Amino acid sequence: MDPVQEIDELKARRICEGCVEEHYLRTEIRRDGRDDRCSYCDRRGKTYSMNKMAERIEEAFSDHYLRTEEPDFWDGERAGERAGDPVIWAIAGAAHISEQAAEDVQLILEDKHDDFESAQMGDETEFSRGPTMKRPAQRAEACLD
């Protein structure tokens, strides 16, 4: 499949409140979500598109994770101790969503950041997979320039 089409397909997926265990996000989906069928559990209910979900997770990472608990969370050296891919694990852990949904979010964010960052910097963004993931703080500082 064309990778662009594939990302568009991922963005159009729906995720329901039942598949998001993080309290704040779940409450938000219940309040603002649209009635639809969930792409992950196949039940009908209030849902967000994965595009919206990816945006919310990106915001959470830039606003929240910079200065809260678990400073080791983003430490690439520790990534090997975790099961699975560290970025996907971080996304799944932040939103309390399944690894499958987290992988979709990761792909959407990686694609988005590839568009406007990698072109300039010529390397990975913090949403790229792999152990050389950067801390989101570096991106925040870069944006202040």
| By CB under 5 A, residue 16 contacts Zn ion | yes
Q: Which is nearer to Zn ion, 33 or 86 (CB)?
A: 33
Among 49, 63, 67, CA closest to 9: 49
Binding to Zn ion by residue 98, rule CB under 5 A? no
Based on CB atoms, which residue is closest to Zn ion, 13 or 113? 13
Asked if 38 is part of the footprint of Zn ion (rule: CB under 5 A), the reply reads yes
Q: Single out the residue of 5, 4, 40, 2 nearest to residue 114, CA to CA.
A: 4
The DSSP code for 14 is E
For residue 10, give every residue at least 6 positions away whose Cβ sits within 8 Å of its Cβ, in sequence order, or none: 50, 104, 107, 108
**Size of the residue set binding Zn ion (CB under 5 A):** 6
Among 10, 11, 14, 19, binds Zn ion (CB under 5 A): 19
Range in contact with Zn ion (rule: CB under 5 A) among 18-26, 62-70, 97-105, 112-120: 18-26
Binding site for Zn ion (CB under 5 A): 16, 18-19, 38, 40-41
